[in-house]
């Protein structure tokens, strides 16, 4: 070994330093199995001394130093020094929590210098799994974890989900919305909405998103059979969140504050000059009907710009006027403890404003208090509280989405339209049908008030007691009470809009709204969860066994009322019975019971086995059919612990320090796929629903004899033969660590087969005249499968420590089979079958080009527009006549996209971190591919809905002289514009011209920080001071930039509230 090592050094000693490292790495990997010499033993003991340091060359105290394979061990002192007597060829093992286990041969034993790397993957860490924790090294399941240090840096939104882009292999991410308080859509392996568990309690997505990110200690995703322990709701994986707890030791006060400035990452552009608007409008009208009322004289006047009626107004600038809207957060937390009590108490205030205006904002105050007290030997009680007030405020705006009209204003209002009559801010200008998108009235003064407050408190009380007399046996009781309260008040005012009468110099009220709207919603959600748990764990020689049993009862109670009224005046916010005309009331309860068992076994830290089962009962099903059993198994083999493998490596941990193979299989249930109960609640009951249909939708009452009579409807035949669907997940994975833990990674392959998706048996077809359907049964199946992996490299060049890590995941969903599918003909089968096909297919024409000339159109054989091509002009789209029948119709459509609004099939993340002395740098990137954005409406044709012209359409086919129908055509990207025509063959059907399969790679957080050195801090009597500047969404490389939309947007009109680009400065302070 020595020989070869020396040889190696000799060989590489002449190479430049960069290549050395590279060479060593390659060499290590490739030559692993060829350069082995047998170990030989010696008996004489030598005294070994040395120092253990971290990557900053600081000594590490309390490191365990063990002569490998023996019980001979010692600890390092306060400066990291140690002394140990060993055999001369011994190998020392250095272990310390938070560092990678490191082995080193003693050599001559004199002043060894050992550098321990911080473990990036924290193999020694404790990972939270269902109903317990596990040491990372004994994990046998596909689990990914992200900790506070990775999510605290992300200041791009206000919710927890927005921090997760690219952070976790196997977690897909799409944030289509960026409005204040918006969240991202995240899924585990695209399996559907996951179950969220926060501090042991099953919760919903909203509760997850609105925790203070500062209070989150870790987020663990259970991606495989390990989720089976959560039973009937776990089929889509589980996100387990743990909040921060106090640590024994010093009391620390931390302050984490930042201020950010937001701007729209991207938003469509429009023409902003009246001349341009009129010019393109005239062009479009000429193309539409061969004539236009906009004459050359008008254009000339507009160009001259002297006539006030041709002044230009830039609505985009006006609406997006609050550029740099703040996103601020201040978190103060105090944590600490002693041997009796530890605590973490925290308060966070977050404020997010909108680019669309100062009056559109989101505010959240979070508190968290986690206290645990040790009452006596073996008895601990804890009380964890988290609460928040979440406020959304904006003007009361007509229509469902209060942020929509402002965005629409950018695209719809033309440069000729002005917000105020005669530019007098006292008089809102009547823009006719565009009045509602006159941004000038979308404020609290004119359009009203909207405010929604969620007030949420969750309290968890838990007792842990170690049963005396039986080593390793403990019991735990957990009670949780959660209350969420919403109060929403919305008042939309009546208002007047004016037209300026030039002849009389007066303002005449010509429009506005006489329709007041007042609504109030109150929701109370109360969830209780009681868990009784017993744990046993013990080690007998090489055998470690563990067992957990849990009984859990969950009850969710939801009440809601909503009312609507028409106030007599804008000045009267109170609602009286006389003005109220609608009232809705709901009161729903859900109940679930679970009994959970799990046993674990490990041998010599080498073989790991785990089996769990949950007996779950759901209220959704008929009595007697409510119970199901959900087992899961997993096994792990730590190959590097095998003596023969160590021998193979000759104990050289520098090469392959850790290698584990693992596999898991489990059966999980889902009674609520896609957040919809698989069967309507109480479908097993026969009778009548009072006031609603089976899905809980309100039935319209009828007016009989002048009275409003509530409607009741027959519930239909009782449904008793449907149950939850079953999801079987197989996962094979490996975790590895090379180069003394510098290079770590993990790889997983998985396959989830779901059976029992609801479908109909068609052996018997009931005549429709019977008036009812045979109920659905659990009959169809689908599969979700893919791979994911991650790699991280921890290194140091002189004083610069750095980490590079990346992850990549791929997943797809395929429908497997339905029961005896029937098709009318082979085309029907081709077009409508889902058997064995990928789900989420977008169909459309294949665009093979654009017509170059009228002659080409005239002689073109294929009927593109269904009207003998008489509606076509040069530049119009040519579709592929797939079936060769010389006409384009449905039969020519082919799969061209991944479906509307779906999660990406491919996700990846990449991050670089480096530090030098007090400076640190982080750059996180994330990317995605395998999803589709549809270009439609404002993004597909010009002047949609008599609006302004989207600037992308200025690059279009047009005549050289737009007024001369015989003038030559000039090529452009888009077909010739028509004026607000949507039923042209260019636009009516999706085609490859309008569908874009997106690939994007975007910068997430790029951060520079500086920590004040210890020497200065000592004088200031503080522990830590760090300042930083960070940018979120600085740039993106993708194929949607040319349309002016964010690459993650979903809405096909491109008007969705995009993600923000945020520039932040922040401060971390610890006392």
Site residues for other proteins, 984-1043, by CB under 8 A, read: none
Residues 483-522 that bind other proteins (CB under 8 A): 497, 499, 501-503, 510-517
By CB under 8 A, the residues from 743 to 782 that bind other proteins are 763-774
Determine the Cα–Cα distance for residues 3 and 537; give it in Å rounded to an integer.
47
Residues 540-579: x where in contact with other proteins by CB under 8 A, - otherwise, as a string: -----------x-x-x--------x-x-------------
Considering only 15, 26, 31, 685, the residue that binds other proteins (CB under 8 A) is: 685
Name which position in 704, 798, 859, 1019 contacts other proteins (CB under 8 A): 704
Q: Left if phi > 0, otherwise alpha if psi is -120 to 50, otherwise beta: which for 848?
A: alpha
| Tokens encoding 579 | 């003005």
Separation CA 431–CA 415 (nearest Å) = 12
Contact between 436 and 400 (Cβ < 8 Å): no
Selected from 73, 371, 526, 530, the binder of other proteins by CB under 8 A is 530
**Closer CB to other proteins, 447 or 652, in the complex:** 447
Here's the x/- map for other proteins, 381-420, by CB under 8 A: it reads as x----------------x----------------------
* Backbone torsions φ then ψ of 899, nearest 5 degrees: 90, 160
Nearer to other proteins, 64 or 980 (CB): 980
Strand partners, 731: 664, 750
Q: Which stretch binds other proteins (CB under 8 A): 27-35, 175-183, 681-689, 951-959?
A: 681-689
Q: Is 525 in the site for other proteins (CB under 8 A)?
A: no
| Angle at the Cα of 804 from the Cα atoms of 191 and 112, rounded to 5 degrees | 125
C-alpha span between 620 and 529 (Å, rounded):
18
Strand partners, 737: 658, 744
- Contact range with other proteins by CB under 8 A, out of 163-171, 317-325, 472-480, 648-656: 472-480
d(CA 983, CA 247): 66
> What six digits make up the tokens of 153?
């840096």
Pair of tokens at residue 378: 């073996």
The minimum distance between CB 591 and other proteins, in angstroms, equals: 5
CA 624 to chain CA centroid, Å, is 38
**Cβ 534 to other proteins, closest distance in Å?**
12
Establish if 422 lies at the interface with other proteins (CB under 8 A).
no
Q: Minimum distance from CB of 764 to other proteins (Å)?
A: 6
Of 18, 703, 859, 884, which lies in the binding site for other proteins, with binding defined by CB under 8 A? 703
Q: How many CA atoms lie within 13 A of 340 on its CB side?
A: 2
CB of 702 to other proteins, least distance (A): 4
Minimum CB separation of residue 434 from other proteins in Å reads 8
Can residue 477 be called a binding residue for other proteins (CB under 8 A)? yes
Q: How does strand 171-174 pair with strand 185-188?
A: antiparallel
Under the binding rule (CB under 8 A), the answer on residue 424 touching other proteins is: no
Q: Enumerate residues 856-875 that contact other proteins by CB under 8 A.
A: none
Assigned token pair, 451: 């405010």
The span from the CA of 3 to the CA of 6, in Å, is 5
Q: Give min distance, CB of 704 to other proteins, in A.
A: 5
Handedness of CA 415, 419, 422, 425 (dihedral sign): negative
Stretch near other proteins under the rule CB under 8 A, chosen from 149-157, 208-216, 686-694, 835-843: 686-694
In the complex with other proteins, which residue's Cβ is closer, 584 or 1014? 584
Figure out which of the listed residues 37, 49, 62, 702 binds other proteins, where binding follows CB under 8 A. Answer: 702
Question: With CB under 8 A as the contact rule, which of the stretches 83-91, 149-157, 613-621, 918-926 interacts with other proteins?
Answer: 613-621
Q: Please select the residue that binds other proteins; options are 98, 249, 308, 701, rule is CB under 8 A.
A: 701
Among 85, 713, 837, 917, binds other proteins (CB under 8 A): 713
The β-bridge relationship of strands 743-759 and 777-797 is: antiparallel
For other proteins, the binding residues in 203-242 under the rule CB under 8 A are none
Q: Which is nearer to other proteins, 681 or 899 (CB)?
A: 681
Among residue numbers 626 through 665, which ones bind other proteins (CB under 8 A)? Answer: 626
Among positions 577-596, residues that touch other proteins (CB under 8 A) are: 580-582, 586-593
What is the distance between the alpha carbons of residues 829 and 820, in angstroms, rounded to a whole number?
A: 13
Q: Taking contact as CB under 8 A, which single stretch among the options 49-57, 193-201, 430-438, 888-896 is the one that binds other proteins?
A: 430-438
Q: Taking contact as CB under 8 A, which single stretch among the options 83-91, 183-191, 205-213, 678-686 is the one that binds other proteins?
A: 678-686
Q: For residues 888 and 881, is the Cβ–Cβ distance under 8 A?
A: yes
State phi, psi for 227 to the nearest 5 degrees. Answer: -80, -15
Q: How far is CA 22 from the centre of its chain?
A: 36
Cβ count within 10 A of residue 153: 25
What are the tokens at 938? 């404002």
In the range 816-845, which residues lie near other proteins by CB under 8 A? 824
- CB 690 → other proteins: shortest distance, Å? 5
Q: Would you list the DSSP string of 488-507?
A: EEEEE--EEEEEEETTTTEE
Considering the complex, what minimum distance in angstroms separates the CB of residue 942 from other proteins? 15
Percent of the chain as helix, strand, coil, to the nearest 5:
15, 45, 40
DSSP bridge partners of 91: 105
**What is the nearest approach in angstroms of other proteins to the Cβ of residue 133?**
22
Q: Please, what is the minimum distance in Å from the beta carbon of residue 438 to other proteins?
A: 9
- Report the residue from 49, 248, 686, 829 that binds other proteins according to the rule CB under 8 A: 686
- Please, which of residues 167-186 interact with other proteins by CB under 8 A? none
Q: Is the Cβ–Cβ distance between 1059 and 1046 less than 8 Å? A: yes
**CB of 626 vs other proteins, minimal distance in Å:** 6
By the 8 A CB rule, do 1034 and 1008 touch? no
Whole-angstrom distance, CA of residue 226 vs CA of residue 240: 12
Task: Give the residue, chosen from 619, 845, 941, 993, that forms a contact with other proteins under the rule CB under 8 A.
Answer: 619
Strand partners, 186: 173
In this complex, which beta carbon is closest to other proteins, that of residue 320 or of residue 617? 617
CB of 450 vs other proteins, minimal distance in Å: 15
Distance separating alpha carbons of residues 727 and 598, to the nearest angstrom: 19
Tokens linked to 219: 């987020």
Applying CB under 8 A, the span of 9-17, 120-128, 684-692, 831-839 interacting with other proteins comes to 684-692
Residue 395 CB, nearest distance to other proteins (Å)? 16
Contact string 132-161 vs other proteins (x = CB under 8 A): ------------------------------
| Distance in angstroms (rounded) separating the CA atoms of residues 523 and 584 | 12
Least distance CB 381 / other proteins (angstroms) = 7
Select 507 or 1043, whichever has its Cβ closest to other proteins.
Answer: 507
User: Which stretch, 24-32, 88-96, 200-208, 371-379, contacts other proteins (CB under 8 A)?
Assistant: 371-379
Q: Which of residues 309-368 bind other proteins (CB under 8 A)?
A: none
Number of residues that bind other proteins (CB under 8 A): 97
Residue 710 contacts other proteins per CB under 8 A: yes
Smallest Cα–Cα separation from 666: which of 733, 735, 594, 613? 613
Tokens at residue 129, please? Answer: 């799994």
Burial string for 407-441 (b: 16+ CB within 10 Å, else e) reads: bbbbbbbbbbbbbbbbeeeebbbbbeebbbbbbbb
Q: Of the candidates 601, 607, 633, 682, which one interacts with other proteins according to CB under 8 A?
A: 682
- Using the minimum distance from each CB to other proteins, give the nearer residue, 377 or 966: 377
Which residues are paired to 406 by β-bridges? Answer: none
């Amino acid at each position: 070994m020595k020989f070869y090592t020396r040889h190696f050094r000799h060989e590489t000693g002449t190479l430049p330093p960069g290549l050395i490292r590279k060479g060593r790495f390659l060499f290590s990997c490739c030559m692993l199995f060829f350069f082995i010499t047998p170990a030989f033993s010696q008996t004489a003991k030598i005294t070994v001394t040395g120092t253990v340091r971290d990557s900053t060359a600081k000594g590490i105290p309390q490191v365990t130093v063990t002569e490998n394979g023996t019980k001979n061990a010692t600890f390092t002192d306060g400066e990291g020094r140690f002394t140990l007597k060993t055999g001369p060829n011994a190998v020392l093992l250095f272990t310390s929590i938070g560092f990678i286990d490191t082995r080193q041969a003693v050599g001559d034993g004199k002043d060894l210098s050992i550098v321990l790397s911080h473990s990036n993957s924290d193999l020694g860490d404790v990972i939270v799994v269902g109903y317990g924790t596990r040491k990372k090294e004994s994990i046998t399941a596909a689990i990914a974890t992200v900790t506070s240090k990775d999510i605290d840096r992300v200041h791009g939104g206000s919710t927890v989900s927005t921090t997760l882009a690219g952070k976790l292999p196997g977690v897909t991410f799409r944030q289509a919305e960026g409005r204040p308080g918006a969240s991202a859509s995240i899924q585990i392996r695209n399996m559907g909405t996951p179950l969220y568990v926060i501090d042991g309690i099953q919760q919903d997505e909203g509760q997850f998103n609105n925790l203070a990110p500062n209070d989150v200690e870790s987020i663990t995703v259970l991606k495989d059979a390990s989720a089976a322990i959560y039973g009937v709701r776990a089929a889509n994986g589980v996100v387990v969140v743990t909040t921060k707890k106090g640590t024994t030791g010093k009391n620390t006060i931390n302050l984490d504050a930042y201020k950010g400035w937001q701007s729209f990452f991207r938003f469509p552009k429009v023409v902003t000059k009246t001349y341009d608007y009129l010019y393109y409008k005239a062009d479009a009208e000429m193309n539409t009907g061969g004539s236009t009322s906009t004459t050359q004289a008008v254009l000339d006047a507009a160009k001259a710009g002297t006539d006030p009626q041709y002044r230009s107004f830039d609505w985009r600038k006006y609406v997006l006027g609050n550029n740099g809207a703040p996103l601020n957060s201040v978190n103060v937390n105090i944590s600490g403890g002693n041997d009796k009590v530890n605590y973490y108490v925290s308060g966070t205030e977050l404020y997010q404003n909108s680019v669309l205006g100062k009056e559109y904002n989101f505010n959240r105050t979070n508190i968290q208090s986690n206290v645990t007290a040790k009452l006596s030997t073996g008895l601990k009680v804890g009380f964890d509280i988290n609460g928040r007030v979440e406020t959304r405020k904006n003007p009361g705006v007509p229509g469902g989405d209060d942020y929509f009209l402002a965005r629409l204003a950018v695209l719809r209002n033309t440069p000729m339209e002005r917000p105020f009559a005669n530019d007098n801010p006292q008089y809102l200008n009547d823009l006719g049908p565009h009045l509602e998108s006159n941004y000038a009235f979308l404020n609290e003064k004119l359009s009203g008030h909207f405010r929604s407050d969620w007030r949420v408190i969750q309290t968890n009380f838990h007792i842990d007691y170690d049963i005396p007399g039986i080593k390793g046996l403990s019991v735990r009781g957990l009670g949780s009470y959660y209350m969420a309260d919403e109060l929403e008040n919305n008042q939309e005012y009546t208002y007047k809009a004016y037209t300026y009468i030039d002849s009389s110099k007066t303002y005449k009220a010509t429009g506005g709204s006489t329709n007041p709207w007042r609504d109030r919603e109150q929701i109370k959600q109360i969830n209780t969860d009681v868990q009784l748990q017993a744990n046993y764990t013990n080690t007998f020689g090489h055998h470690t066994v563990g067992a957990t049993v849990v009984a859990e009862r969950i009850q969710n109670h939801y009440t809601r009322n909503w009312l609507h009224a028409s106030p007599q005046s804008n000045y009267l916010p109170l609602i009286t019975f006389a003005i109220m005309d609608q009232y809705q009331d709901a009161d729903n309860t859900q109940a679930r019971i679970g009994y959970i068992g799990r046993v674990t076994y490990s041998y010599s830290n080498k073989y790991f086995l785990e089996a769990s089962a949950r007996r779950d009962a759901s209220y959704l099903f008929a009595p007697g059919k409510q119970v199901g059993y959900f087992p899961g198994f997993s096994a792990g083999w730590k190959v590097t612990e095998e003596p023969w493998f160590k021998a193979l490596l000759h104990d050289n941990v520098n090469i392959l320090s850790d290698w584990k193979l693992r596999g898991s299989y489990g059966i999980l249930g889902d009674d609520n796929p896609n957040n919809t109960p698989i069967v309507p609640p109480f479908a097993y009951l026969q009778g009548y629903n009072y006031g609603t249909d089976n899905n809980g939708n309100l039935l319209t009452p009828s007016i009989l004899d002048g009275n409003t009579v509530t409607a009741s409807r027959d519930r239909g035949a009782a449904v008793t033969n449907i149950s939850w669907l079953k999801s079987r997940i197989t996962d094979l994975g490996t975790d590895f660590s090379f180069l003394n833990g510098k290079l770590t990674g993990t790889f997983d392959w998985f396959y989830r087969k779901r059976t029992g998706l609801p479908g109909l048996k068609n052996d018997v077809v009931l005549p429709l005249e019977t008036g009812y359907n045979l109920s659905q049964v659990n009959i169809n199946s689908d599969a979700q499968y893919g791979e994911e992996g991650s790699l991280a490299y921890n290194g140091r060049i002189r004083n610069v420590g750095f980490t590079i890590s990346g992850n990549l995941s791929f997943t797809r969903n395929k429908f497997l089979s339905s029961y005896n599918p029937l098709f009318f003909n082979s085309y029907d089968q081709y077009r409508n079958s889902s058997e064995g096909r990928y789900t989420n297919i977008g169909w459309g024409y294949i665009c093979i080009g654009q017509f170059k000339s009228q002659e080409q159109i005239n002689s073109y054989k294929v009927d593109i527009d269904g009207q003998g091509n008489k509606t076509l002009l040069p530049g119009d789209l040519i579709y592929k006549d797939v079936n060769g029948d010389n006409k384009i119709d449905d039969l020519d459509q082919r799969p061209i996209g991944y479906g509307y609004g779906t999660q990406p099939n491919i996700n990846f993340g990449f991050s670089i971190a480096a530090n030098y002395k007090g400076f640190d740098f982080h750059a996180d990137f994330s990317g995605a591919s395998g999803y589709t954005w549809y270009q439609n409406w404002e993004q597909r044709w010009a002047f949609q809905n008599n609006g302004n012209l989207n600037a992308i359409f200025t690059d279009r086919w047009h005549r050289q002289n737009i007024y001369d129908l015989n003038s030559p055509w000039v090529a452009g990207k888009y077909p010739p514009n028509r004026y607000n025509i949507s039923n042209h063959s260019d636009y009516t059907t999706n085609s490859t011209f309008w569908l874009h399969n997106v690939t994007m790679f975007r910068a997430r957080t790029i951060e520079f920080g500086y920590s004040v050195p210890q020497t200065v801090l000592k004088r200031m009597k503080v522990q830590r001071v760090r300042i930083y500047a960070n940018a979120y969404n600085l740039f993106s490389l993708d194929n949607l930039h040319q349309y002016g939309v964010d690459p993650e947007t979903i809405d096909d009109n491109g008007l969705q509230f995009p993600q923000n680009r945020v520039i932040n400065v922040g401060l971390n302070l610890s006392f």
